[in-house]
Structure 1
Amino acid sequence: MPSDPMPVNPRIHPNPTSIVIDKGAKPTVPLVPRNSSIPSDKGDVMGNNQPPFQQSLPPFRSLTRTPKRRSCCCRVICCILSLLLVFLLVIGILVLVFFLVFHPKVPNYSVDRLRITDFRLNLDLSLYARFNVRVTAKNPNKKIGIYYDKGGKMSVWYMKTRLCQGSFPAFYQGPLNTTATDVSLSGQNQYGKTLMQALQQQQQTGNIPLELKVDQPVSIRVQGIKLGKVRFLVNCKLTVDSLNSNNAISIKASNCNIRVKL
């Protein structure tokens, strides 16, 4: 008996009990419930619903006070700078008004006479000098008086070497006043022999350069009010013909400059 022929495309019906799993699909239900406390091989991973790294963090400290402190310091610094700026602005305005109203001018100085009463070489080869200088000061201001306070110094120099020194007298010079002052100077230099030789060689030319310096503290008087102190720094370049004692010394050239130091 001939056998039945086999079908060309047989159909395979799936088993109703088989499960097809798609590896690309995401599960919609977690395998382990989130609120469960199932232990694992490495410990309680999901216990108390807290990540494990939060347990090793140090306690949190509040830093809310630091910005307040910084803001207070900034406010104090800003207030100080503002007050300083206002103070400088007021001072500048007062100085500007003073210059516009009173037109202050520095005095004029001149060396009218120079006399040497003693100029000799001692036994210890030190040089002793004694000068007498007459200085004339002219106050060109119409509304400003000048107080020449105590502590003023005058000195005579030759080639950056001080020959003698004395005190400038204290007095008051009113507006548009001219005052002549005689000052006695004396001094001793230990390098007398070398200095004397240099002066003798210079004296042969008939032109001996000298320098007269004055450092004088003064106070300004305006409308009967005595203001703060300043310093007059006077520098006079002189050229004389000789340095012989008890002889008339001719001043060939004289040029005085003044600088005000606050």
Structure 2
Amino acid sequence: MGSKNGCGCCSCLCGCLFSCLLSLIFQILFTLLIILALAGFIFWLIFRPNEVKFHVTDASLTQFNFSTGDNNLHYNLALNVSVRNPNKRIGIYYDRIEANAYYQGQRFDTETLTPFYQGHKNTTVLSPVFQGQRLLTLGSGDVSKFDSEKTDGTFGVSLRLNLRIRAKLGWIKIGHFKPKIKCGLKVPLKSNGTLSAAAFETTKCDFDL
């Protein structure tokens, strides 16, 4: 009988210890979550991070011809992209900048731009140039749209920037982040140095983190 009672007490003691241990673990985890949430809130109050602003401020399209014979697009497109860091205390390292040009959902060129550091309240201008030729598979409807845009003198081109960035807070560097920037553009064609349509209008880009 004594042996059975001893086992029962031991089992009860083990159960109590296990329950206390679980309770302690949950309390520690809950405390850590509270600390992290508080730290995040304090970070926001101090630094108030704002989204970087991207605008295509100028576009020069001097060649944009599609040949149905060999399905080649011949192009010469130069862009100016304004990158504005509105933050007072956060600097940004742009470790990789990949600029992609698209027409009707198909990429026709890619340029890798020079990495740089952008300080507080700073505006930097990127100037990717896309020039050459690329095989595109355009259906009859796509070709009709191209012909219509050629008649109008303005082409719908998309710019997409794939970035790899780090944030600098004082001496602390945080990263890596990989935002994607998308810009839907209406670019007038220049013929013999003159525009064949209305002038290009500054276009705001979408920022997707």
TM-score (normalised: structure 1): 0.60
Please give the secondary structure, in 1, of the residue aligned with 2:179: strand
Relative to structure 1, the CA distance from residue 94 to residue 162 in structure 2 (aligned partners, 3 Å threshold; closer, same or farther) is same
User: Is contact 1:206-1:241 (8 Å) kept?
Assistant: yes
Calculate the aligned-residue CA RMSD, in Å. 3.6
**Structure with bigger RCO (C-alpha 8 Å, 6+ apart):** 2
The aligned residue for residue 163 of structure 2 is: 216
Range 90-99 or range 191-200, more displaced:
191-200
Please give the secondary structure, in 1, of the residue aligned with 2:31: helix
Unaligned runs of 5+ in 2: 1-6
**2:38 is aligned with 1:89:** no
Please give the secondary structure, in 1, of the residue aligned with 2:178: strand
TM-score (normalised: structure 2): 0.73
2:57 to 94, 108, 112: 112
The aligned residue for residue 185 of structure 1 is: 130
Cα displacement (A) at 1:253: 5.2
**2:178 is aligned with 1:231:** yes
Range 173-182 or range 199-208, more displaced:
199-208
**2:107 is aligned with 1:162:** yes
Structure number with the higher helix fraction is: 2
Unaligned runs of 5+ in 1: 1-61
Distance 1:178 1:90 in 2: 35
**2:151 is aligned with 1:204:** yes
The aligned residue for residue 148 of structure 1 is: 94
Q: Match of 1:136, as an amino acid?
A: S
User: Is contact 2:76-2:129 (8 Å) kept?
Assistant: yes
The aligned residue for residue 80 of structure 2 is: 134
Q: Match of 1:161, as an amino acid?
A: Q
Structure number with the higher strand fraction is: 2
Relative to structure 1, the CA distance from residue 96 to residue 119 in structure 2 (aligned partners, 3 Å threshold; closer, same or farther) is same
Distance 1:148 1:184 in 2: 19
**2:118 is aligned with 1:173:** yes
